[in-house]
Copies of this chain bind each other. A is one copy, B any other.
């Protein structure tokens, strides 16, 4: 039986999140008003509050959703292979993630300071869990002698920063294909840890 009371909530909700993600990534959370988001969605500002209790919750929800998706996608990857194979897997996974959802990756490290303390703590935990995945790979490879990594913690930060940097310049229409980019970065990552 068809709904008699018309509702767009099942489509407007995602549109609100999409618009917020895009605008936050482009202009920054603090610089974007609820009226701008509403205009992008095609509703009045008041209608947004059917989908989020406030602006801060909207930001948090986007970041939390992204981190959950990222961790779930990594968990879903096959976990076979030695440390070198796992490092290649992580490298390619992180670059593909960066390229697939650039706005989400971007706001996830640009808008942390605009989270209220409790929200910040949640996202920082998830980020830490993600970085731990790489750190464990480097640590296990260092123990078996597969890698030459004197300080796995620092090496983790260095590799993550290098890979996330793809975000700042990669364009789909660019000179290099995604697999070429992956190959170049994997070559550098592998060599940087003496693998």
Contacts and interface: CB of A to CB of B under 8 A. Distances in A.
| SS class, residues of chain A in contact with chain B | helix
Question: Which interface class (under 10, 10 to 19, 20 to 34, 35 or more) fits A?
Answer: 35 or more
A184 interface: yes
Q: Which of A148, A165, A169, A192 has the most CB of B within 10 A?
A: A192
B162 A158 contact: yes
A193 B189 CA distance: 10
A169 B150 CA distance: 18
Interface stretch (A22-30, A34-42, A64-72): A22-30
B26 A28 contact: no
Tally of this chain's copies = 2
A188 B158 contact: yes
Contacts of A125: none
Given A161-B164, A188-B193, A191-B192, A113 B154 contact: no
Nearest to A154: B184
Contacts of A168: 157, 161
Contacts of A184: 150-151, 154-155, 158
